[in-house]
Amino acid sequence: MSTVDLTAKIPNNVDLGQDKRLLRALEQWQPNYLGWWREMGPTDFQGKDCWLRTATSVDAEGWAHFDYVKMPDYRWGIFLADPLPDRRIGFGDAMGEAIWPVVPGEHRNTLRRLIVTQGDTEPASVEQQRMLGHSAPSLYDLRNLFQVNVEEGRHLWAMVYLLHSHFGRDGREEAEELLLRRSGNPDKPRILGAFNEPIDNWLDFFMFTMFTDRDGKYQLLALAESGFDPLSRTCRFMLTEEAHHMFVGESGIERVVERTAELMKLDRNGDARAQGGIDLKALQKFLNLWFALSLDLFGGEVSSNAASYFAAGLKGRAKEETYPDHQALGQTYRLPVPQDGALTEEDVPLRNAMNEVLRDEYVEDCQRGVDRWNKRLEEAGLGDRLRLPSKRFYRHIGIYTEMPFDPEGKLLTREAWEAGRNGWLPTAEDRAFVRTLMQPVREPGKIANWIARPARGIKGLPFEYEYVRLD
């Protein structure tokens, strides 16, 4: 087990103290990061004590320490999972060869691009969520928001460490750029689409942590297979933290569903909205939106980029060892391709369909979450069900881009799509209504009307615990 230096200015398990140049460069970046955090991190709560977990080791059992901390004092550090003995490249043309402890010259630009793209999402999500503290439905939820935020900050550190330690001056410049782009800013937007979308209420937030963070899980699993070992080790540890973020989303929506079902039963007309809750129709629309936006994050269905990442051993499939064949040559993926107003099945070389393979695994994982939500509806004796829309619905990247598919995946005329749109995606009125519900609840043990209490608190503490001290 690697030792963790927690006393250092930048906590780490990578012997940072031994590399003075790297340490100096990161220590120069640190105040810029803190400046960004103060400007773009959660508004107004920076001086409050929050009961947060901080990574203090990479031991699977006891890797985190829980205590009150003010967010700017959070110990953002650099943690890589321990190296695996005799690890070899597990797929592609270099299969079986030794992994790379440093960046091979021929893959330098591609790896830098992948790391920058991954790194860019982390501060972007913090920026998107910065106003939500003002409308948290409970102190428990407020604390979870801040936990997610500080850890996304740590994930930025993880990528910046790789840029500084392996990409020289280019890497340092990219690390600065990561602090300069801004979510939703037309002049200097974040790189990927979903990270420029507004998250202005807690329904967006829970859908984002359910669906968009889950894209993060699958991208990290794919990068954890990388032949570039420092990237693999970084991603493996990030996945440990990521699990909680998806829990926040999945259990958040589950609690909304539970409460909606209660309110529907309370109302004479089964109308949750009339009882100050979020109706299932609105939930379905937000689900449709965030699922589609998150599907885009996997890239095009047919991608020569994806094929070359796989061939070169840079990015594999999630849990590559579970596939029988790691070359993916001479195999095809059957894809419904739009042609002359209809869908035709085409066989695409498997390596070119790697984005789609990863997307399929992701969809299956999302479905498991939706099934759990539907179980709540079933237990409440309701016949309504939530559903994932088709992979073709409302896409902005890939072969289905801006084509009028309905949530069942049927190709419509443009007019029919426009006529259906307000029934499938959140309207300005839906958003305005959801916003009216977003009144903060700040008393320990209390919860907003539109969401159920969680089954348990954090780390054995009760829900009533004062997770954020606001006085």
Q: Which of residues 118 and 275 has its CB atom nearest to ligand BYC in the complex?
A: 118
299 near ligand BYC, judged by CB under 6 A: yes
Q: Which of residues 284 and 294 has its CB atom nearest to ligand BYC in the complex?
A: 294
- Residues 218-277 close enough to bind ligand BYC by CB under 6 A: 219
Q: Report the DSSP beta bridge partners of residue 5.
A: 12
Strands 342-349, 332-339: pairing kind: antiparallel
118 near ligand BYC, judged by CB under 6 A: yes
307 near ligand BYC, judged by CB under 6 A: no
303 near ligand BYC, judged by CB under 6 A: yes
Q: At how many degrees (to 10) do helices 108-128 and 20-40 cross?
A: 30
Q: Which two structure tokens, joined as six digits, stand for 314?
A: 């840079």
Query: Which of 419, 413, 386, 378 is closest to 285 using CA atoms?
Result: 386
Stretch that binds ligand BYC, among 3-11, 293-301, 345-353, 412-420 (CB under 6 A): 293-301
152 near ligand BYC, judged by CB under 6 A: yes
Residues 6+ apart with CB under 8 A from 166: 102, 103, 111, 230
Among 300, 313, 336, 407, binds ligand BYC (CB under 6 A): 300
Among 83, 184, 189, 193, binds ligand BYC (CB under 6 A): 193
308 near ligand BYC, judged by CB under 6 A: no
Alpha carbon distance 50, 463 (integer Å): 14
Q: Which of residues 165 and 219 has its CB atom nearest to ligand BYC in the complex?
A: 219
CA distances from 396 to 37, 39, 297, 399 (A): 30, 31, 10, 9
Q: Which of residues 206 and 450 has its CB atom nearest to ligand BYC in the complex?
A: 206
> Residues 465, 458: contact at Cβ < 8 Å?
yes
Secondary structure, 3-state, 323-382:
CCCCCCCCCEEEEEEEECCEEEEEEEEHHHHHHHHHHHHHHHHHHHHHHHHHHHHHHCCC
DSSP state of 83: P
296 near ligand BYC, judged by CB under 6 A: yes
125 near ligand BYC, judged by CB under 6 A: yes
> Residues 189, 121: contact at Cβ < 8 Å?
no
Stretch that binds ligand BYC, among 1-9, 73-81, 290-298, 408-416 (CB under 6 A): 290-298
| Interface with ligand BYC: number of residues (CB under 6 A) | 25
The residue number with the shortest CB distance to ligand BYC is 299
Q: Which of residues 155 and 259 has its CB atom nearest to ligand BYC in the complex?
A: 155
Among 137, 153, 216, 313, binds ligand BYC (CB under 6 A): 216
- Residues 320-359 close enough to bind ligand BYC by CB under 6 A: 355
Q: Which of residues 4 and 111 has its CB atom nearest to ligand BYC in the complex?
A: 111
SS3 411: strand
Euclidean distance between the first and the last CA atom of the chain, given in angstroms as a whole number: 41
Minimum gap (Å) between residue 446 Cβ and ligand BYC: 28
> Residues 112, 85: contact at Cβ < 8 Å?
no
Helices and strands (DSSP H and E) totals, the chain: 12, 5
List residues near ligand BYC by CB under 6 A. Answer: 114, 117-118, 121-122, 125, 152, 192-193, 212-213, 215-216, 219, 296-300, 303, 305-306, 315, 355, 397
